[in-house]
A and B are shown apart, each in its own frame.
Chain A
């Protein structure tokens, strides 16, 4: 997968076009997608802001499985 490793991965099969149609495909238009991505960027900024400075330190878990 990683470009530097690409040559090490033997390719047995080529992807087929019908494989793509056989799975759930995106029905979002490019204009709508652009809008959603802008909203995503805003959401990410909001997430950062809300998390606060102590977030990572406070996240420490008590282990148990």
Chain B
């Protein structure tokens, strides 16, 4: 039987510096992260809280050593470790990845919680920006939650789902045809409701591509693979499970767009949770193998929804999604597998989005002619298209106009004073599924129902006693000895298990003694 589809999100933000301040983007990002860490008391004298890279194996492939890459493990000094990383009491990691700020949410059981944590990340980075401006008012940095810079570079929205070891091995290692048959068609067409929308294409095309559903589709070149910066794969095969790999695996998906819309983000994660659970429970019997998944990904992004299957049939991308929805409805009623949080709402929104897409009418020049389901209020790519159309009307602007690109980027600016999405939300012009209070709570507290609770509580209560930390371990410095607490079962270490323990212990020595007892 399947296990709960715990999920964690890695959100990579674009950093824009206005003017030349003599800082590299890497330095500016580190300044941002540390401004926040200092503000939250995580850089107080005596606090180490290093990120432990010991469990990161980005060059190992789940399919075996032949697919992996040989590389030496980089050694990083403590000073650099702290410059790059901060781990927060909400169980998240805020850090500099290459040259951009990245926020990895804590592990969540529900899609709703995952979206709330992702939104909390936006607010945390906004607060970091404010702290940075206090420290360095001359540094004009702006942050964007999007996936392309229009100059050939992409940065991702990565999803990580907990899977049971055996079905993961079966679908993605021993018998990848199963993934091609039952999972890839879903993930390729998911952009219909989860795409963030973008103007144009990454490379010049003739005829010109005015608008695409997905920001990321242009950057994908393979179905399975290890890479994340070139030859990007639909299914990333990195062998880095951050858990007891005899029991658990991590499915690392890098093809999603970053959503501003809560509705789209919730539906993206919720539907994926259900489909993965059906995959684990062998509930998906239809063969929807796409003839060419990479080409299909791009076709859908370019509004060419007619897709060819490997067996010669053709089917619309919407009908593929309808097929998954139909199975999901049956699955959720069947009682097979653990209960999926908010399953009813996910199914309802899924149906709503597909019905709305079916009724959505666009002109040949991508004007929105009819939107009876008001998807402009719910799906990012439709909202953005509507905004752009609104500005283009009467101005005779070509689709490759620089002005329209500015709007595309500013849709994703995380600050309300400049961000188009945030302006729409503040005016009630887009629908929400979350309360502000839910998001605020995710800034302060880790999810109660995963190991993130244990990690977060350790950081909240004993920051000066922690030497190092990562997703699967908390390591304390007890002077004469280092004590490591493994968190190899991501579903344990919950509030239900440990609230009382944390309430009673005064320091990490007592915590260890109580756990041992």
Residues of A that sit less than 8 Å from B by CB: 1-6, 8-13, 15-16, 19-20, 22-28, 36-37, 39-41, 43-44, 47-48, 50-52, 54-56, 58-65
Contacts and interface: CB of A to CB of B under 8 A. Distances in A.
Contacts, number: 161
Interface residues of B, number: 74
Contact of B349 (A11, A15, A23, A48): A23
Contacts of A25: 374, 431
B391 A36 contact: no
Contacts of A63: 98, 153-155, 229
A56 B150 contact: yes
Contacts of A54: 18
A61 B100 contact: yes
Given A15-B373, A61-B99, A4 B229 contact: no
B179 interface: no
A17 to B, nearest CB: 10
A55 B256 CA distance: 26
Given A2-B303, A15-B355, A19-B355, A44 B154 contact: no
13 contacts: A8-B305, A12-B322, A19-B352, A23-B348, A26-B374, A47-B406, A56-B405, A59-B149, A60-B151, A64-B99, A65-B154, A65-B155, A65-B158
B12 to A, nearest CB: 6
Contacts of B26: 62
B358 A15 contact: yes
A64 B366 CA distance: 32
Contacts of A65: 12, 97-98, 154-156, 158, 228-229, 254
B171 interface: no
Given A1-B362, A48-B406, A64 B155 contact: yes
Interface string B11-31: 010111111000001100000
A26 B431 contact: yes
B439 to A, nearest CB: 17
| Residue among B18, B366, B432 with most chain A CB within 10 A | B18
A36 B377 CA distance: 14
A55 B373 CA distance: 35
Nearest to B406: A51
Contacts of B406: 47-48, 51, 55-56
A59 B16 contact: yes
Given A13-B322, A54-B18, 18 more contacts: A1-B305, A3-B361, A3-B364, A4-B364, A6-B361, A9-B358, A13-B355, A22-B352, A25-B374, A44-B390, A47-B420, A52-B18, A61-B25, A61-B155, A62-B26, A64-B98, A65-B228, A65-B254
B387 interface: yes
Contacts of B372: 15
Interface in B374-432: 374, 377-378, 387, 390-391, 402-403, 405-407, 409-410, 418, 420, 423-424, 427-429, 431-432
A48 B252 CA distance: 37
B76 interface: no
A40 B423 contact: yes
Interface in B124-176: 149-151, 153-156, 158
Contacts of A19: 351-352, 355, 373
B358 A11 contact: yes
